[in-house]
Amino acid sequence: MVIEDLVEIAEKERAGGKKTIIRCCMAASCMSSRSEAVKAGLEKAVKDAGLSDQVEVRGVGCMRLCCQGPLVGVEPGNILYQKVEPEDAASLVASTQGAPTDVERGDPEQPFFKKQLSIVLSNSGVVDPERIESYIGADGYKALHSVLFEMTPKELIDHIIASGLRGRGGAGYPTGLKWATVAKTPSAQKYVVCNGDEGDPGAFMDRSVLESDPHSVLEGMAIAGYAVGANQGFIYVRAEYPLAIKRLQIAIRQARQIGLIGSGIFESPFHFTVDIRIGAGAYVCGEETALMASIEGKRGTPRPRPPFPAESGLWNSPTLINNVETFANIAPIVRKGADWYASIGTAKSKGTKVFALAGKIENTGLIEVPMGTTLRQIVEEMGGGAPGGASIKAVQTGGPSGGCIPANELDTPVDYESLTRLGSIMGSGGMIVMDESTRMPEVARYFMEFCMDESCGKCIPCRAGTAQMHHLLDRIVKRQGTARDLATLEELCDMVARTSLCGLGQNAPNPVRSTLRYFRNEYLALLAPGSNGQLAREEQTANSH
Amino acid sequence: MAAKTLNINGKQVSADEGATILEAAIEAGIKIPTLCHLDGVYDAGACRLCLVEVTGVNKLLSACTTRIAEGMEVHTDTEQLRKYRRMTLELLFAERNHTCSACVSNGHCELQALAWQNGMDHVRYDYCFPRWSVDASHPRYGLDHNRCILCTRCVRVCWHIEGAGTKNVAGRGAKSFIIDDLAQPWGDSETCTSCGKCVIACPTGALFTRGSTVAEMERDPSKLAFIVNARERKQWVV
């Protein structure tokens, strides 16, 4: 494979395009509502109508508006059909030839789509994730070629630093700095790891990226491998994502077949292979040290840092570990330039962020917005607010490690620092909207139960502390708690956050703390009358003033 | 190996480069409470009792896994740390069924000693009273899960000193427990060499020699460090 071969594949792919393209969403959400049958129906209808040389039916990745799936898009014309049934196929195909159709139309001009800015998701819903040619046709692997032949690893890292990209796994560590640390650590063997163990309840960004555009992640990893001097990559995907795993396997095989992964990439001395490791269902394996233990075949438990993976990671070698979305940002940054990327977003948070909108919201689905977009724009304009005109009470970001942001803070711009200031975190991008019917102590209890179940059991504060906190929350929710229970709960929140070994335990109290911060009266109202009842009422009165 | 100087609780201390804060403290005669640490095997940093404050570092660091640095300023006994240690111990006592008065290790138990040293006179949390079994299938030793604190000393000793790899941890969270081989009865284990190192390593009465009754279990974990030292440094005169 040399650059001419790549250009030839891209040109052939673009020239081979038929007059009309019917895109059918083949990501997990639409597939769960029979989009596979829709696609088969469309293919048959095209054949039956004798339009095979004019109309292409293309299985594509996520088309964003998951709640209206299966989604089908028709080009030219930018027409969107939603809730398509397999029986609609013939009518839909006929419509491409000018016939009227009564298949439900979606509005591609609505704010949900118009306010999005696609970088990570630019190929999602456009290219066929199961054909590498489709990705190459969309400028795929050009970035990898250009870094191999036009940039030194140092220049590449400086480029990533200049872009201002920060880790999309949640903590927001500057990506370029992490790369530089791994690059500077001397070692004969280094590794690149992609963290695809997305486990937050309500989060499906990484799954969508892997299902919709697996090659963008592979290309990002290969570029990272060149930057830090690694020849082996691992993608760690949770077993609950079988479609993502299947598409990754296809992508790796296809990339290997044409020499874009393996030895002598683009006939350069650069060698990079990628293997998939499948998680066994433990949430804690999303924590980087636990993830690496799991890749090594050990029990997936975290270990204290330092040493950080950049210094001593997989099999004690320096290891670069980034999230799926972070890697998917790399090729666009290389192709379009660091300045372009740095021009998007806020002063400290650059680029875009993908969010999974879920919960009590009209438009459930996947969005990608520039950093600095306010929560109100996301939830009310794009998300269409809560169903049935109910008022929004809070937005939960960051999953079990995050917090609930109350409705009166919705004008907060989405960036790492602002969300942290509110007692939540950016997290990996799950956004769960709660309406007025949601009872916050129950939300806190739910997340605490999640953390209790998912604690690995290694350190005492997380293992025993989450169990005690859950017990206390359960008592409070059942109206059996006292003011003393609440005080014990708050004391434990502080202790578990400060003393736990890894991020799971350190952040487990966040949902409790943030709901206590903004919705304390709901807790106080639940306290049982009795010996401490007087105290509770006094606190409640003091709070309401 | 170069030495480094640091400050622990206001006292100037020197220690070998590469030493942990815990090692430096022990050398200087400063006591830091530990539970999962065991001389001779690598540290897990799991019990969180040895957490210390280091000036300029936002997070609390486990003394057993943090390497010293030149000029480091460490505080091992602040009011905050004492409070957290007590809470950690209370959480442990509430977690499983620790009944000292009926325990083989009564009077010789590290957990009991730590509770006493740290002024734990009551437990503010509800006892969980979980149902755990006792594995008495091994002819010489027994494992009482009710008294286990999951410090994994036995696991580390089994893998890294004896090299048998019999003991392990299964399950997760509060439901995790020590297993033998593939969660078989200990007596059925084909890998166990019956060396008894795990029993010596256990800080509580969870692992015991069969036939011992209340307060009869005494152990000397320094034997384990002695073996490792003799093996690795060829030093056996102590």
Residue of chain B with shortest Cα separation from A462: B173
pLDDT at position B232 is 92
Residue A508 in any domain: the answer is yes
Is residue A410 located within the same domain as residue A457?
A: no
- C-beta of residue A459 within 8 angstroms of C-beta of residue A506: no
Is residue B120 located within the same domain as residue B25?
A: no
Is residue B63 located within the same domain as residue B97?
A: no
State the best of B151, B172, B178, B204 to mutate against chain A, taking most chain A CBs within 10 Å: B172
Beta bridge partners, A406, equal A394
Instruction: Report d(CA B1, CA B4) in Å as an integer.
Output: 10
Residue A458 in any domain: the answer is yes
User: pLDDT class for A170, splitting at 50, 70, 90?
Assistant: confident
The domain boundary, picked from B53, B76, B99, lies at B76
pLDDT (tens digit, 9 = 90+) per residue, A479-513?
999 999 999 999 999 999 999 999 999 999 999 99
Q: How far is B183 from chain A (nearest CA, A)?
A: 15
Is residue A420 located within the same domain as residue A474?
A: no
Residue A509 in any domain: the answer is yes
Is residue A324 located within the same domain as residue A359?
A: no
User: Any CB–CB contact under 8 A between B127 and chain A?
Assistant: no
* Range in A170-174, A378-382, B76-80 with the lowest mean pLDDT: A170-174
Instruction: Report d(CA B73, CA B67) in Å as an integer.
Output: 13
pLDDT at position A536 is 52
Set of chain A residues whose Cβ sits within 8 Å of the Cβ of B169 = 299, 457
Set of chain A residues whose Cβ sits within 8 Å of the Cβ of B176 = 456-457, 463
Mean pLDDT of chain B: 96
User: pLDDT class for A327, splitting at 50, 70, 90?
Assistant: very high
Q: Would the CB atoms of A463 and B87 count as touching at under 8 Å?
A: no
The domain boundary, picked from A389, A411, A435, lies at A435
Is residue A377 located within the same domain as residue A468?
A: no
Indicate whether B82 pLDDT > 90: yes
Q: Would the CB atoms of A463 and B44 count as touching at under 8 Å?
A: no
Residue of chain A with shortest Cα separation from B173: A457
pLDDT at position A531 is 47
Mean pLDDT on A83-111: 94
pLDDT (tens digit, 9 = 90+) per residue, A40-71?
999 999 999 999 999 999 999 999 999 998 99
Q: Would the CB atoms of A499 and B88 count as touching at under 8 Å?
A: yes
Q: For residue A186, which amino acid is it?
A: P
Set of chain A residues whose Cβ sits within 8 Å of the Cβ of B91 = 460-461, 464-465, 468
Is residue A481 located within the same domain as residue A363?
A: no
Cis check: omega of the bond before A406, within 30 degrees of 0: no
Q: Would the CB atoms of B91 and A461 count as touching at under 8 Å?
A: yes
Is residue A288 located within the same domain as residue A377?
A: no
Is residue A188 located within the same domain as residue A332?
A: yes
Q: In this structure, what CATH number is given to the domain that contains residue A365?
A: 3.10.20.600
Nearest to B48 among A459, A488, A492 (CB): A459
User: pLDDT class for B94, splitting at 50, 70, 90?
Assistant: very high
pLDDT at position A17 is 82
Q: How far is A271 from chain B (nearest CA, A)?
A: 35
Residue B94 in any domain: the answer is yes
Indicate whether A539 pLDDT > 80: no
Select from B158, B201, B204, B151 the least CA-distant residue to B181: B158
pLDDT at position A540 is 57
Is residue B136 located within the same domain as residue B204?
A: yes
Q: Would the CB atoms of B45 and A460 count as touching at under 8 Å?
A: no
Considering only residues B235 and A88, tell me which one the structure prediction assigns the higher pLDDT. A88
The domain boundary, picked from B42, B76, B110, lies at B76
pLDDT at position A543 is 55
Is residue A165 located within the same domain as residue A243?
A: yes
CA atoms lying within 13 Å on the CB side of residue A184? 7
Residue of chain A with shortest Cα separation from B46: A459
Residue A150 in any domain: the answer is yes
Q: In this structure, what CATH number is given to the domain that contains residue B45?
A: 3.10.20.740
pLDDT at position A532 is 53
Task: Specify the number of domains making up chain B.
Answer: 2
Set of chain B residues whose Cβ sits within 8 Å of the Cβ of A306 = 66-67
Q: How far is A500 from chain B (nearest CA, A)?
A: 7
User: How much of chain B, in percent, has pLDDT values that exceed 70?
Assistant: 99
Residue A125 in any domain: the answer is no
Helix (H) or strand (E) holding A372: none
Is residue B42 located within the same domain as residue B132?
A: no
Mean pLDDT on B18-40: 96
pLDDT (tens digit, 9 = 90+) per residue, A430-452?
999 999 999 999 999 999 999 99
The domain boundary, picked from A311, A342, A373, lies at A342
Is residue B214 located within the same domain as residue B151?
A: yes
The 3-state secondary structure of B69-126 reads CCCCEEECCCHHHHHHHHHHHHHHHHHCCCCHHHCCCCCCCHHHHHHHHCCCCCCCCC
The domain in which residue B26 lies consists of 3-76
Is residue A316 located within the same domain as residue A228?
A: yes
User: pLDDT class for A529, splitting at 50, 70, 90?
Assistant: confident
Is residue B62 located within the same domain as residue B88?
A: no
Q: In this structure, what CATH number is given to the domain that contains residue B169?
A: 3.30.70.20
The domain boundary, picked from A108, A125, A150, lies at A108
Concatenating the DSSP letter of every residue in A211-249 gives HH-HHHHHHHHHHHHHHHT--EEEEEEETT-HHHHHHHH
Is residue B177 located within the same domain as residue B94?
A: yes
pLDDT at position A538 is 55
User: How much of chain A, in percent, has pLDDT values that exceed 90?
Assistant: 92
The complex scores an ipTM of 0.96
pLDDT at position A12 is 94
Residue A236 in any domain: the answer is yes
Mean pLDDT on B39-53: 96
User: Any CB–CB contact under 8 A between B128 and chain A?
Assistant: yes
The 3-state secondary structure of A303-323 reads CCCCCCCCCCCHHHCCEEEEE
User: Any CB–CB contact under 8 A between B92 and chain A?
Assistant: yes
Is residue B143 located within the same domain as residue B213?
A: yes
- C-beta of residue A479 within 8 angstroms of C-beta of residue A372: no
Is residue B201 located within the same domain as residue B101?
A: yes
Is residue A324 located within the same domain as residue A401?
A: no
Nearest to A457 among B83, B84, B173 (CB): B173
Helix (H) or strand (E) holding A72: strand A72-75
Binding-face residues of A in 436-465 toward B, CB within 8 A: 452-461, 463-465
Residue B238 in any domain: the answer is no
Task: Specify the number of domains making up chain A.
Answer: 4
Is residue B46 located within the same domain as residue B91?
A: no
Residue A152 in any domain: the answer is yes
Strand A365-370 versus strand A232-238 pairing type = unpaired
Q: In this structure, what CATH number is given to the domain that contains residue A200?
A: 3.40.50.11540
Residue B51 in any domain: the answer is yes
DSSP A158: H
Is residue A470 located within the same domain as residue A415?
A: no
Set of chain B residues whose Cβ sits within 8 Å of the Cβ of A502 = none
pLDDT (tens digit, 9 = 90+) per residue, A398-421?
999 999 999 999 999 999 999 999
Nearest to B150 among A303, A457, A498 (CB): A457
Q: In this structure, what CATH number is given to the domain that contains residue A48?
A: 3.40.30.10
pLDDT at position A306 is 87
**Sign (positive/negative) of CA torsion A206, A207, A213, A214?**
positive
Is residue A294 located within the same domain as residue A147?
A: yes
Virtual torsion, Cα B176, B180, B184, B185, nearest 10 deg: -100
Q: How far is B211 from chain A (nearest CA, A)?
A: 31
Select from A256, A206, A260 the least CA-distant residue to A235: A206
- C-beta of residue B76 within 8 angstroms of C-beta of residue B126: no
- A215-248: burial string, b at 16+ Cβ within 10 Å, e else: bbbbbbbbbbbbbbbbebbbbbbbeebeebbebb
Nearest to A457 among B91, B92, B176 (CB): B176
Is residue B144 located within the same domain as residue B34?
A: no
Residue B32 in any domain: the answer is yes
Is residue B95 located within the same domain as residue B189?
A: yes
Instruction: Report d(CA A151, CA A172) in Å as an integer.
Output: 26
The domain in which residue A47 lies consists of 17-108
- C-beta of residue A259 within 8 angstroms of C-beta of residue A216: no
Residue A331 in any domain: the answer is yes
Helix (H) or strand (E) holding A30: helix A28-31
The domain boundary, picked from B51, B76, B101, lies at B76
Mean pLDDT of chain A: 94
Residue B221 in any domain: the answer is yes
Nearest to A501 among B48, B168, B176 (CB): B48
SS3 state at B140: coil
